[in-house]
Amino acid sequence: MTDFWLISVPLDKTSLTSVEKLKRTIVKTNLASSCCKFSIPDLKVGVLDSLLSVSDDLSKLDTLAEVIKKTCQCMKEVLESSDKVLENALANGDLMNFMIKFQWDKAKYPTSLTLSSLAEIINKEVSQVEAELKSRSAAYNSVKASLQNLEHKLLNDVVRKEDLVVSEYLTTLLVVVAGSYSQWERSYESLSKFVVPRSSKLYENGEGGVFSVTLFKRAVCEFKAKAQERFFVRDYSFDLEEQKQREIMQLSFHKKEQYGIFVRWLKVNFSEVFVAWIHLKALRVFVESVLYGLPVNYQALLLQTDRKHSKKLKEELASLFVHLDPTASITDVSCDIPGLCQQEYFSYICFHISTNVLDIS
């Protein structure tokens, strides 16, 4: 599983030397597959109290990773394929390429606004997507469930018109047997003395065993009353089945139409939320870097790595930047949100961007 670490270090001479050493170490040891600058524009700093408040707000807002995960899960259910999710979960193209070549969207998130205003824009945008995802998903699943329910009940595919006896005195009923077929075969003739002997025939569908039975019309009520104690008598007519067929055709067309609309919406809004999430990460790096010390003078780096190298990479970073605080120790701040974790290092700043948000297996 690929992870991205977004770190920030001051632009002092020793730290810049450590950054160059980090790049050389990465090449030699493969602790990370890439290390590149992460471009963050100059944003409005504000006063210390507002920075602390924004820092807290951004930390809470980072839960929008869950919206990304929900969107991916919904995409998987609609597309009925995990592989197709990876093909459609894009953000202005490939996700990794987007992060490596990240550029702040000044049109969407104007740098002239305050940090709290930028956070509010992201919050509002993601909240709208989450609410609409819930309503669109419910509407699509309702159509899908209605279609499956009708298809499940349709018997025209297993029962033919010529199999049913309908005359002036006789009729054929259909009975669903969910349990033992032998129980039905032993007992159906005793449910009424007007049942035609050995008239039952088995048809199997998704509900289980569907048996036909022929009897005199005047005994239908008596037969149904006794049969309902152990079995389920299905109301059936070819006119009703033809009506169901028409409803199925209409629902199938409606589902196909909604499928295309919903998939397009999921693709567009996955991209919107993912882009917002990375801008949020950039905001957090900026705010924490400013809180680390003024004047604003830092360098943000994006490291691409994987889980098996995490421990060694942490140790290497701690060693390289120990000069920033010789007494520093590493503290892992645990997080219950899948795909989202933050590590706080007393000597430098690091945020973890995990592709776990795409893990919909």
pLDDT of residue 46: 78
Q: 103: pLDDT confidence band, cut at 50, 70 and 90?
A: very high
- In 3D space, the residue among 144, 102, 115 whose CA is nearest the CA of residue 45 turns out to be 115
Q: Which H or E element spans position 59?
A: helix 48-61
**pLDDT at residue 207 above 50?**
yes
- In 3D space, the residue among 187, 183, 202, 191 whose CA is nearest the CA of residue 224 turns out to be 191
Q: Compute the radius of gyration of the chain from its Cα atoms.
A: 32
For the chain, the farthest-separated pair of C-alpha atoms sits apart, in whole angstroms, at 103
- The structure's pTM equals 0.76
Beta-carbon contacts of 153 under 8 Å, excluding residues fewer than 6 positions away, are 207, 244
Domain ranges of the chain: 1-42+298-324+343-360, 166-238
Q: Give the residue-averaged pLDDT of 191-208.
A: 84
pLDDT of residue 337: 30
pLDDT of residue 242: 76
- In 3D space, the residue among 97, 133, 73, 26 whose CA is nearest the CA of residue 278 turns out to be 97
**pLDDT at residue 82 above 50?**
yes
Contacts 24+ apart (CB under 8 A), 72-80: 72/270, 72/357, 72/358, 72/360, 73/360, 74/133, 74/137, 74/266, 75/263, 75/266, 75/267, 75/270, 75/360, 76/360, 78/140, 78/259, 78/262, 78/263, 78/266, 79/263
**pLDDT at residue 50 above 60?**
yes
Q: Give the residue-averaged pLDDT of 145-170.
A: 78
CATH C-level class of 1-42+298-324+343-360? alpha beta
The model's pLDDT over 117-154, given as tens digits with 9 standing for 90+, comes to 999 999 999 999 999 999 999 999 999 998 888 776 66
- CATH of segment(s) 166-238: 3.30.70.100
- Looking at every residue in the chain, the average pLDDT score rounds to 83
**pLDDT at residue 86 above 90?**
no
Higher pLDDT, 98 or 293: 98
Higher pLDDT, 326 or 11: 11
According to DSSP, the residues that pair with 172 across neighbouring strands are 214
Q: Give the residue-averaged pLDDT of 28-32.
A: 86
Measured N-to-C along each axis, helices 238-292 and 48-61 cross at an angle, to the nearest 10 degrees, of 150
Report d(CA 26, CA 30) in Å as an integer.
Answer: 5
166-238: same fold as 1-42+298-324+343-360?
yes
For residues 257-296, b (16+ Cβ closer than 10 Å) or e, as one string?
ebeeebbebbbebbbbbbbbbbbbbbbbbbbbbbebeeee
Asked which of 170-174, 213-217, 241-245 is least confident by mean pLDDT, the reply is: 241-245
According to DSSP, the residues that pair with 306 across neighbouring strands are 2
Measured N-to-C along each axis, helices 48-61 and 115-153 cross at an angle, to the nearest 10 degrees, of 10
**pLDDT at residue 81 above 90?**
no
Higher pLDDT, 261 or 86: 261
pLDDT of residue 222: 94
DSSP 195: B
